[in-house]
Amino acid sequence: MKPINKEIEDLVFKSYLEEIMQKKKFLKMNRYIQHGTTTCLLHSVAVSYYSYRLCKLLKLNIHEKELIRGALLHDYFLYDWHAKYKPSRKEGFHGFIHPRIALFNARKDFKINHIEEDIIAKHMFPLTFYPPKYKESLIVCLVDKACSIYETFNKHAYIKMTNKVVDAKKERRIIGKRINLYN
């Protein structure tokens, strides 16, 4: 792949990311840790970016907008899942029920379509009963697992990626705030 193509693809990714970041509530994900020292916000940006990159690498014919947006919102559950008291506590284990909570929040705050909904609802398969329906959902489901393992073992995950895809200084500061990488 020619580098120029990659630059254009990164611009496409950034435009969808910036659009979602307009919603202040989306940035709230930065308050919560996902794995290791990685916040839910950074985790979501990484899952979205690498899902997109993998599709490009495999030359898959995908719905780009849905893949990127669905992945950005896949963990939009908005609570600290490590805390003793959390909204999901009475309903069941976080791993099983957070896709439903993320879907509920995403439907409330964004206009999402059936592919984006499937990405969010099925990303924890096989913990979710039904398998991913679209190739976009399957890719996000796989990349989410790879990213989760990577984050668990890397203290400063995704520094290069953040510099590459998060343009606005302010947003970059917000994303890196929890791990004090950017000032």
Q: How many residues lie near Fe ion (CB under 5 A)? A: 2
Question: Could you tell me if 141 and 160 are in contact, meaning their C-beta atoms sit under 8 angstroms apart?
Answer: no
Structure tokens at 81: 């899942």
Q: What are phi and psi of 39, to 5 degrees?
A: -80, 165
> Which whole-number Å values give the CA distances from 90 to 56, 79, 96, 97, in the listed order?
41, 14, 12, 10
Which residues 68-87 are close enough to bind Fe ion by CB under 5 A?
A: 75
Rank residues 75 and 117 by Cβ distance to Fe ion and give the closer one.
75
Taking the complex as a whole, the smallest distance from the CB of residue 57 to Fe ion amounts, in Å, to: 20
Question: Could you tell me if 70 and 102 are in contact, meaning their C-beta atoms sit under 8 angstroms apart?
Answer: no
Report if residue 144 touches Fe ion, rule: CB under 5 A: yes
The one segment of 60-68, 139-147, 150-158, 170-178 that binds Fe ion by CB under 5 A: 139-147
Taking the complex as a whole, the smallest distance from the CB of residue 133 to Fe ion amounts, in Å, to: 17
- Draw the binding track, 109-128, toward Fe ion (x: CB under 5 A; -: no contact): --------------------
Taking the complex as a whole, the smallest distance from the CB of residue 95 to Fe ion amounts, in Å, to: 8
Taking the complex as a whole, the smallest distance from the CB of residue 74 to Fe ion amounts, in Å, to: 6
What's the rounded Cα separation, in Å, for the pair 48 and 140?
7
Question: Could you tell me if 13 and 51 are in contact, meaning their C-beta atoms sit under 8 angstroms apart?
Answer: no
Q: What are phi and psi of 34, to 5 degrees?
A: -95, -70
Rank residues 117 and 144 by Cβ distance to Fe ion and give the closer one.
144
Question: In what helix (H) or strand (E) does residue 39 lie, and over which residues does it extend?
Answer: strand 38-39
Rank residues 14 and 74 by Cβ distance to Fe ion and give the closer one.
74
Question: Could you tell me if 147 and 132 are in contact, meaning their C-beta atoms sit under 8 angstroms apart?
Answer: no
Taking the complex as a whole, the smallest distance from the CB of residue 144 to Fe ion amounts, in Å, to: 4
Binding stretches for Fe ion (CB under 5 A):
75, 144
